Amino acid sequence: MLSVLRGTQRSFQVVLLFLVLAVFLMLAFLPVDFKLLPSDKAQEPPVTNIMFLKTHKTASSTVLNILYRFSESHNLSTALPEGSSFHLGYPWLFVTRYVEGMKQSGHLNHRFNIMCNHLRFNLPEVQKVMPNDTFYFSILRNPVFQLESSFIYYKDYVPAFQRVKSLDEFLADPWKYYNDSVGLKNVYAKNNMWFDFGFDNNAPAEMAYVRTCLSEVERQFHLVLIADHFDESMVLLRRRLRWQLDDVVSFKLNARSQRTVLHLMPESQERVKHWCALDWQLYQHFNRTFWAQLHAELSPRRLREELEQLRVRRRELTTLCLQDPEPKNKTHIDDPNLRPYQSGNAEILGYNLRRGLDNTTLRICQRMVMPEVQYMAHLYSLQFPDRAPKSIPFLKQ
């Protein structure tokens, strides 16, 4: 009898060991997307109430596309510019009447899931449009590269840039060209990101003032991403929003050709840090907080895994969707509706889709390469079919 019991015990142990091994093997072959979210987050629903402060020349057009796609695929409502407008009142401080549907409703309702168009941040007014549980985030870029991009993009629009041949020339004596009383067109020439957060871009960079403003941003925003580390930003954003991998995979939009990118002299780069001292301190502070949050969220090994997964999926969608992985200038984009808006001395690039895509794949790929103005107009027509569609003048040229 004792030998029988021992044999039964050994058999049970063998079966138990087999079951444990089977479970490990099943987990190993589960989709990586499931494994990369912690079990507690994987069980929670995705975040769908989101406010993105779209700063200028910071890869924000690519983030906007991500949010537009999520909104459309999940049948969410987006706070869109009223009437024929393309921005939510920018560069004026945001107020609710800039949103389509708010002025006509007669009373203020928390009726939108996503807000992400250009606006100058004004929290009390934004809160009238967005639900109480809204996730607030934004994105910053190294001011050296942000100002260089602004100079090229807004060369013909900004008074401070119009009379100089190069950004190096401007930075050598910026007060010769910059006048803070000219009006709001000059906000692109000095501390533009600081301005977008609702602060005075001409304020002295005094320590007490800067600290007060940085604390205010930290209270109001759950996350501030860094454009210079875009993939790492998408990894962290995805985890915070509990989204699927394809929700944050993107192609670079509103990017310039390399031939229109200026390479500033070292002394000019240092001058940017002084000229845009408020932006520089904003960027430095949130660059530190971003990496602290990322490292608190993921181990180095897990971060490498998630970055690789993101990049592999981007390569897969590039092969699936695009004729050529390299973006094209507007004269080489076949579909006129996919040609991006051109501004200043920038040569803004876009994409050609592969021919012969089935309807479902075509819709997915079109959304990924659709420039922001066209996508905004598309969502406007979906949400407000009874209103006149947005007219996009540059598509008629």
pLDDT digits (tens, 9 = 90+) for 289-307: 999 999 999 999 999 999 9
Tokens linked to 77: 């409502």
Q: What is the pLDDT of residue 86?
A: 94
pLDDT in tens, 236-249: 999 999 999 999 99
Question: So what's the pLDDT on residue 25?
Answer: 42
Residue 197 burial (C-beta neighbours within 10 Å; 0-12, 13-18, 19+): buried
13: confidence class by pLDDT, cuts 50, 70, 90:
low
- Among residues 120, 110, 111, the alpha carbon closest in space to that of 53 is found at 120
**pLDDT of res. 270:** 97
Average pLDDT over residues 20-47: 51
Mean pLDDT of 116-143: 97
255: left (phi over 0), alpha (psi -120 to 50) or beta: beta
State residue 181's pLDDT score.
Answer: 74
Kindly state the average pLDDT of the residues 132-152: 97
| Residue whose C-alpha is closest to residue 169's, from 153, 182, 151 | 151
What integer pLDDT is reported at residue 183 of this predicted model? 80
pLDDT given for residue 206 in this prediction: 98
Question: Could you report the per-residue pLDDT of 80-100, keeping only the tens digit for each?
Answer: 999 999 999 999 999 999 999
pLDDT given at position 28:
40
Q: And the tokens for 276?
A: 């845009």
Is the pLDDT confidence value at 2 over 60? no
Q: Is it the case that residue 215 has pLDDT exceeding 90?
A: yes
Q: What is the pLDDT of residue 124?
A: 97
Residues 6+ apart with CB under 8 A from 147: 167, 189, 192, 272, 275, 276, 279
SS (H, E, C) 276-290: CHHHHHHHHHHHHHH
pLDDT of residue 41: 55
- What are 315-355's pLDDT values in tens digits? 999 999 999 999 999 899 999 999 999 988 889 999 999 99
Mean residue pLDDT of the chain comes to: 89
The answer on pLDDT for 274 being more than 90 is yes
pLDDT of residue 232: 98
For residues 200 and 198, give the distance between their C-alpha atoms in angstroms, rounded to a whole number. 7
The answer, yes or no, to whether residue 26 has pLDDT greater than 90, is no
What pLDDT sits at residue 21?
47
> How is domain 33-396 classified at the CATH fold level?
Rossmann fold (3.40.50)
Whole-number pLDDT of residue 104: 60
Peptide bond preceding 91 in cis form (omega within 30 of 0)? yes
Q: What is the pLDDT of residue 156?
A: 93
Asked whether the predicted pLDDT for residue 271 surpasses 90, the reply is: yes
Spell out the domain ranges in the chain.
33-396
Confidence band, pLDDT 50/70/90 cuts, at residue 397: low
Give the tokens for residue 380.
Answer: 């406007």
What is the predicted pLDDT for the residue at 105?
A: 54
Give the pLDDT of residue 151. Answer: 97
Query: What integer is the mean pLDDT of 142-152?
Result: 97
- Answer yes or no: is pLDDT of 34 > 80: no
